[in-house]
Amino acid sequence: MTPIITAFENSPDEGRDLARDMRLRWAFEEVGQPYEVRLLSFAAMKAPAHLALHPFGQIPTYQEGDLVLFETGAILLHIAGAHAGLLPADANARARATAWVFAALNTVEPPIVEREAAGYAERDKPWHRERLPMLDARVATRLDQLSARLGGADWLDGAFSAGDLAMVTVLQRLKGSALLDAHANLAGYVARGEARPAYKRAFEAQLEVFRAARRG
Ligand code: GTB
């Protein structure tokens, strides 16, 4: 049965791969699993039919038969567990790759999202300028630590895994910022992820949603 995911009908990033359905599209492409996408307006995301799938009214969701999932980490691990290509066969290596998925989403992503959200939600507050260096410092600390761990390796733990896929998509949110550019190995790591054929196919698919909307 072909899995169906949900994505923005009109993504605010205009097809620049920043919405979280991109992680799932990339994972499907890595493992060679065809998928379908159901596009949602913002109103539809908050309507009862979608809230029955996603309690927080967000995208993406995943449906396959009577299985319904939300949370990209859970969906990514589900896809990776069902197909070869994103998790190593060795049990310990598999557990470490899983840990990197959690590290990306629980440890590295939160300060990045917090900093990003401050940029658009708090910009007009009198304390915003005072808070910004602290938000930058929290991100910088995580990047310093991640950079030290990655060192000169291509991927975080041996071969490319679901952990790298999650981490690259998290770091992409910093592309073009001095914070990421301060670490040549992390910028190179993101570029290596984006150079993967599966990533390119996923990127084109999400960009096509924006192009199609423009064509009307
Ligand atoms: N923890 C959840 C997961 O990983 O699945 C988070 C899901 C989530 O944040 N979804 C966002 C959403 O539905 C879309 S991806 N937001 C609407 C809402 O909460 O009402 C976040 C996102 C959206 C747009 C951009 N962009 O345009 O740059 C980047 C990231």
Cβ-count burial 22-56 (b if 16+ within 10 Å, e if not): bbbbbbbbbbeeebebbbbeeeebeeeebeebbee
Superfamily of domain covering 4-85+198-215: Glutaredoxin (3.40.30.10)
Three-state secondary-structure class, residue 57: coil
Distance 63 CA to ligand 1 centre (A): 18
Collapsing DSSP to helix, strand or coil, 111 comes out as helix
- The pLDDT assigned to 102 comes to 98
Query: For ligand 1, is residue 72 a contact (CB within 6 Å)?
Result: yes
Asked whether the domain spanning 91-196 has the same topology as the one spanning 4-85+198-215, the reply is no
Containing 38, the helix (H) or strand (E) segment is strand 36-40
- Tell me what pLDDT residue 197 has: 98
Give the pLDDT confidence score for residue 216 in this predicted structure. 82
Ligand 1 touching residue 55 (CB < 6 A): no
Q: What is the pLDDT of residue 158?
A: 97
**Residue 23 CB–ligand 1 contact under 6 Å:** no
* Ligand 1 atom nearest 59 alpha carbon: 13
**Domain definitions of the chain by residue range:** 4-85+198-215, 91-196
**Fold classification of 91-196 (topology level):** Glutathione S-transferase Yfyf (Class Pi); Chain A, domain 2 (1.20.1050)
Q: Which residues of the chain have pLDDT under 50?
A: none
CA-closest residue to ligand 1 atom 23: 19
- C-beta separation of 138 from 115 below 8 A: yes
